[in-house]
Amino acid sequence: MKADFMKPKILYPLFMLFCLTENAHSQSTGNIKGSITDNGKSPLPQVNIILDKTKFSTTTNANGEYVISNIPSGSYRIIISHIGYQSVKRDIIIIKNATVEYSYALQASAIEIPSVEVYGGRRTNVARLPEISGTNIYSGKKNEVLLLDSMNADFAQNRARDVFSRVPGITCWELDGSGTQISVAARGLSPHRSWEFNVNQNGYNVNNDLYGYPEAMYNPPLEAVQQIQIIRGSAALQYGPQFGGMLNYVIKKPDTTKVLGFETQQTYGSFSTFNSFNAIAGAKGKFTYSAYFNYRTSDGWRPNSNYNFLNAYGSVHYKPTDKMDIGVEYS
């Protein structure tokens, strides 16, 4: 068998060329080291050390020391930077086969920015009635006002628990799945058809028999309600002897800046649920008007729980003076 080896006279020149190249490279590089401190001579860790426009960079250790090795000899610009301190840029020279020592004490920097004033307020779904409103006194009394315009709730199904859950002490019972009859009560009382409350709409009573069997068979659709006023305690005696107090649904007021305004909401859901709410409102001179029609139907989530709900409302008001309002409302 004959082996084919490269001749020694070829290997020797290649080996010599490699050695000369490595020797020339090692003789044309240098190093840089140093330490970085603050004004109090305390070492600064994690300071960035960069040779500008090169790939050479490092950071200081826990003692504020750094080393960059094998830098080709020549002139460079060193950049030293750290958060909270003024950056430093200096020209240095790297000498071959030598280590240049460069240490520096960084000056703390304070950045002054213009003052910023932040104004804000808590947006809540619950407010309070004024101390005196017309002939009624609410000062120091227990009352809450639920603001439905800013509330995230299921109005399409008149879901009472979504609305009244904002008020401590109010309990809800969903008598049926239609939301036709809202059943709420104050703490400790029966919520059955809200019969412990004197239920009002725009300030007039809607209970069937206030002193006999005061169930609230009727409730306005929550899409049409602007706010719900709940008055309990001694202030509720102004409206009757019900233990729970007074519950007043305030229908949305018309926009007096428009002659005609229109609102529509169409909601579809499971079990063939469909809710259609349509309203118009406006003002002309000293007259204001508003009206709505609500149709809601569903098969229900259990047998024999289907329902159809129709509700309509209309009002016309005439305001001859700022202190007089004559109106007719029909539900």
Residue 155 or residue 294, greater confidence: 294
pLDDT score at 283: 94
Phi, psi of 163 (to 5 degrees): -95, -50
Q: Is the pLDDT at 90 greater than 60, yes or no?
A: yes
CB 174 within 8 A of CB 183: yes
Q: How confident is the model at residue 205 (pLDDT cuts 50, 70, 90)?
A: confident
pTM of the model: 0.61
Arithmetic mean of pLDDT, 163-168: 87
pLDDT score at 68: 93
Q: Which two tokens stand for residue 194?
A: 């809200």
Q: Is the pLDDT at 166 greater than 90, yes or no?
A: no
Arithmetic mean of pLDDT, 141-160: 84
Per-chain mean pLDDT for the chain: 84
pLDDT score at 120: 77
Express each pLDDT in 234-272 by its tens digit.
Answer: 777 777 778 888 899 999 999 989 999 999 999 998 889
CA distance 128 to 217: 27
Task: Tokens 């002309």: give the residue.
Answer: 284
Percent of the chain with pLDDT over 70: 90
Mean pLDDT highest for which of 153-162, 164-173, 270-279? 270-279
Q: Is the pLDDT at 233 greater than 90, yes or no?
A: no
CA distance 299 to 296: 11
Phi, psi of 218 (to 5 degrees): -125, 140
Q: How confident is the model at residue 130 (pLDDT cuts 50, 70, 90)?
A: confident
Residue 131 or residue 26, greater confidence: 131
Among 27-31, 33-37, 161-165, the range scoring the smallest mean pLDDT is: 27-31
pLDDT score at 141: 65
CA distance 41 to 82: 15
Q: In what order do the strands lie in the sheet with 57-59?
A: 57-59, 48-51, 74-81, 88-94
pLDDT score at 97: 87
Percent of the chain with pLDDT over 90: 38
Among 72-76, 175-179, 229-233, 242-246, the range scoring the smallest mean pLDDT is: 175-179
pLDDT score at 150: 83
pLDDT score at 282: 94
In the chain, what are the domains? 8-105 (2.60.40.10), 126-330 (2.170.130.10)
Q: Is the pLDDT at 105 greater than 80, yes or no?
A: yes
Residue 212 or residue 247, greater confidence: 247
Arithmetic mean of pLDDT, 285-311: 91
| Helix or strand holding residue 162 (H, E) | helix 160-164
How would you class 303 by CB atoms within 10 Å of its CB: exposed for 0-12, middle for 13-18, buried for 19 or more? exposed
